[in-house]
Amino acid sequence: MDSGDVLLDISGVSRSFGDVRALDDVSIQIRENEFFALLGPSGCGKTTLLRVIAGFEQPDSGTVTLDGVDLLPIPPEKRAVNLMFQSYALFPHMTVERNVGYGLACERLPRDEISSRVDEVLTTVGLTDKRNALPKTLSGGQRQRVALARAIVKRPRLLLLDEPLSALDRKIRGEMQMELKRLQHEVGITFVVVTHDQDEAMSLADRVAVMDRGVVRQLDTPLDLYRRPRSIFVADFIGNSTILRGRFDQGTWIGDSAPGLSVPDTCRDAIALALRPEALTIVPTDDPRARVRGEIVEVFFQGDHALAQLRADGTVYLAVLRDDVLPRRGDPRGLAWDESAPIPLFEE
């Protein structure tokens, strides 16, 4: 990676709470103007990492630099990093205008500059008519925008967002995702978003770090994460897939299921194979292309497409259905896939 445009460099950061290793030797480099996502199951250490960057937690070991400057000795209020809290943390006794202007007032800017910058950012988030409202009178979506406006008005080098959309319902969430993306282009700030919603991470981010129990398991673009997961954990966590455990033996895959599959040499060191549903085709049992044969267990209708579960040799496969006629439970079927479809996985 070209290190010239690295904005935030997290290197070897660990943090334990008693027996819990919330962060275990985490190293991440985030580039200027990047939209970066931290993705992982609950309790994997995402919030802890954000709090280390914002300065509310001190790591036990490791370094964090912003623009090459060591961040750790700098107190939270002096860091050019703003955090949008998961619960928004709006000041209940201040109007929208004063909430948004709070950070500017802390910089002792002149009053008219504060008010013009607040105006500007309120226009950006579309809340100019709520200027004098108290937070309690706002809807969830509006509160979220105030929190966002309050965090970006200071034009930080880095904006941290802790599950910014988790409190919103599905429809508003979609709108806000697009708005976040638009804003990021508009204001030109580097975004780090924490989420445990993989769709959100995949659709928003330039790059995603997948975390598990304090460890970064893989750091890649969304496309690469999907196409080339390195571990069973990532393949399982991102998208749907069928995992075939086993080992490589002279061009064939030896495992409990699908005995004698022929696989390419790239699978030589793999401990498992992942099959994405869209790489699988359901065919009649007598089709010569069928690599395994079994019966349909369940069919899920998903709107624009349908998924089918097929059990063969004790393994349940998940495949996208392309036919207009859906098979029924119990129907015998075969599964076909390209030689290159199995994704080799090298770690648990």
Partner 1 sequence: MTSRTSAGVRRHGDGPLLRALASVPALTYLVILMAIPLALVIAYAFLTAGRFGGVQGPVTLDNITRMFQPLYLEILVSSVVNAGIATAFAFLIGFPAALVITRLSPTWQTAALVAVVLPFWTNFLIRTYAWIVLLNREGFLSDGLELVGLGPVEFLYTRQAIILGLTYAYIPLMVLPIYASLQRLDPQLLEAAQNLGAGPWRRFRTVLLPLTLPGIITGCLFVFIPSLGNFVIPELLGGGNSQMIGNLIRDQFLKSRDWPFGSALSLMVLALLVIIVMLQASASRRTRKWGA
Ligand X SMILES: Nc1ncnc2c1ncn2[C@@H]1O[C@H](COP(=O)(O)OP(=O)(O)OP(=O)(O)O)[C@@H](O)[C@H]1O
Site residues for ligand X per CB under 6 A:
17, 20, 22, 40, 42-48, 196
- The reply to whether 54 sits near partner 1 by the rule CB under 8 A is yes
Give the integer Cα–Cα distance in Å for 196 and 238: 11
Which one of Mg ion, ligand X, partner 1, none interacts with residue 17, CB within 5 to 8 A by kind? ligand X
- The reply to whether 85 sits near partner 1 by the rule CB under 8 A is yes
Give the integer Cα–Cα distance in Å for 295 and 241: 18
Distance of CA 178 to the CA centre of its chain: 15
CB of 44 to ligand X, least distance (A): 4
Backbone angles phi, psi at 233, to 5 degrees: -60, -50
CB of 131 to partner 1, least distance (A): 17
Which one of ligand X, Mg ion, partner 1, none interacts with residue 265, CB within 5 to 8 A by kind? none
- The reply to whether 56 sits near partner 1 by the rule CB under 8 A is yes
Question: Which among 341, 195, 207 is positioned nearest to 264, based on CA atoms?
Answer: 341
Position among 20, 106, 254, 326 found at the interface with partner 1 (CB under 8 A): 106
CB of 18 to partner 1, least distance (A): 13
Size, binding site for partner 1 by CB under 8 A: 25
- The reply to whether 17 sits near partner 1 by the rule CB under 8 A is no
CA angle 233, 238, 244 (to 5 degrees): 55
CB of 46 to partner 1, least distance (A): 16
Which one of partner 1, Mg ion, ligand X, none interacts with residue 20, CB within 5 to 8 A by kind? ligand X
Backbone angles phi, psi at 58, to 5 degrees: -100, 130
CB of 189 to ligand X, least distance (A): 22
**Candidates 2-10, 89-97, 214-222, 330-338; binding stretch for partner 1 (CB under 8 A):** 89-97
Which one of ligand X, Mg ion, partner 1, none interacts with residue 44, CB within 5 to 8 A by kind? ligand X
Question: Which among 300, 303, 304 is positioned nearest to 326, based on CA atoms?
Answer: 300
Site map for partner 1, 126-145, x if CB under 8 A? --------x-x---------
- The reply to whether 281 sits near Mg ion by the rule CB under 5 A is no
Give the integer Cα–Cα distance in Å for 205 and 247: 34
Task: Identify which of residues 97 and 162 has a Cβ nearer to ligand X in the complex.
Answer: 162
Contacts with partner 1 in 213-272 (CB under 8 A)? none
- The reply to whether 107 sits near partner 1 by the rule CB under 8 A is yes
Task: Identify which of residues 47 and 257 has a Cβ nearer to Mg ion in the complex.
Answer: 47
**Candidates 64-72, 84-92, 201-209, 303-311; binding stretch for partner 1 (CB under 8 A):** 84-92
Site map for Mg ion, 3-42, x if CB under 5 A? ----------------------------------------
CB of 51 to ligand X, least distance (A): 8
Tokens in use for 181?
A: 């993306």
- The reply to whether 47 sits near Mg ion by the rule CB under 5 A is yes
